[in-house]
Amino acid sequence: MAGRVQRNLPLALKVGHLRLVAAIAEHGQVQAAAQALGLTQPAASRTLAELERMVGAPLFHRRPRGMVPTAAGEILARRGTEVLAGLTDIARDLASVAAGATGEVRIGAVTGPALGLLVPAARRLRAEAPGVRLSVEVAPSVQLVQGLDSGALDFVLARVPAGIDPSALRVGPGAHEPLRFLVRAGHPLAGRRAVPLAALAGFPWVIQGRGTPIREAVDAALRGAGVGLPPDVTTTASLMLTVALVARTDAVAAVAVQVARLVADGRGGPDAGLVTLDTAEPLDLPPWHLLTLRQRRLSAAAQRMLALVRDQIGQDRDGDPGAADPQGAGPPGNGDPGAGDP
């Protein structure tokens, strides 16, 4: 039998064709191949005849000791085996994606939750699903919610900005954010107990810009104490610059408790000799929340990370409120993770 290869052969070929050719090449008999594939011998013979018509050439030599692939049969058996292996890989990869073991997760967070929640949750994700690609954006709440709305982020840990319709959001658990005042170890106020907020106005400040939650909270607290920020104020959202200025001057910086834990207690922050003041009045920021879009379905990988973050929030709430708070002998923090918008 000889003829032309069917013009639409790539479209006409079926997985069953490839499996049959590979099985006959392996077993050497139609009957054995049919049995291995769960087919009847007549059905296997009809499929082979159909395929040989499509190819326009015999695929096997029929010999007493069995069936031996022709040149065309060898090509189809070899290439078919590669295609079948590729299909198996596709099925495995799709199952992995469905299980949340691979894929990409894009998260946004203000500084405090990024340090206190996403770091331990990311470590757990790496242990459970090392194939997942994780990206984290640390930014102000307005920018994060915009990223959530545009689809650039899967979920965020942020505040609901003014002017945003909350009905489009699914607002999950969150936490208040205690503020701490960071100074160098040799600062005149370092080591004093119950420092009044009014006493902080006599020193230079490093603080975030107007309109940010930290700046608004500090301005309001100082006004309530009958004072205001001094003229000597450096405005920056950079943590590195804040640490550098505080370490080398008598400046005071207002930072969230998670930032204070990082830079002032020696657990991974710069060794700059920084401490937090024991203030008489506690100061908290408005709470951040875990935010997702109501109308968006998350990928399995994003759902996996979301569950880890929720669990981490629960663990922090159940933990000792003041165990890791570096405020010394002052009023203990509430232990919730967080920091102001960067």
Q: Identify the pLDDT of residue 264.
A: 85
End-to-end CA distance of the chain: 76
In CATH, what is the architecture of 102-318? 3-Layer(aba) Sandwich (3.40)
Q: Identify the pLDDT of residue 44.
A: 92
Gap between the Cα atoms of 79 and 30, Å rounded: 20
Q: Identify the pLDDT of residue 261.
A: 87
The dihedral of CA 164, 170, 176, 181: what is its sign? negative
Break the chain into its structural domains and give their ranges.
Answer: 9-97, 102-318
Judge: domain 9-97, CATH 3.50.40.10: no
Residue 324 has pLDDT above 60, yes or no: no
Summarised one tens digit per residue, pLDDT across range 168-192 is 899 999 888 899 999 999 999 999 9
Q: Which residue has the higher pLDDT, 270 or 135?
A: 135
The three-state secondary structure class of 181 is strand
The dihedral region occupied by 244, where left means phi > 0, alpha psi between -120 and 50, and beta the remainder, is alpha
Going from the C-alpha of 318 to that of each of 179, 203, 314, the distances in angstroms are 20, 37, 6
Tell whether pTM > 0.75. no
In the chain, where does DSSP find H-type helix?
9-12, 15-27, 30-37, 41-55, 71-98, 111-113, 119-128, 141-150, 213-224, 239-248, 257-264, 300-318
Gap between the Cα atoms of 49 and 313, Å rounded: 64
Q: Residue 340 — very low, low, confident or very high, per pLDDT cuts 50/70/90? A: very low
Residue 141 has pLDDT above 50, yes or no: yes
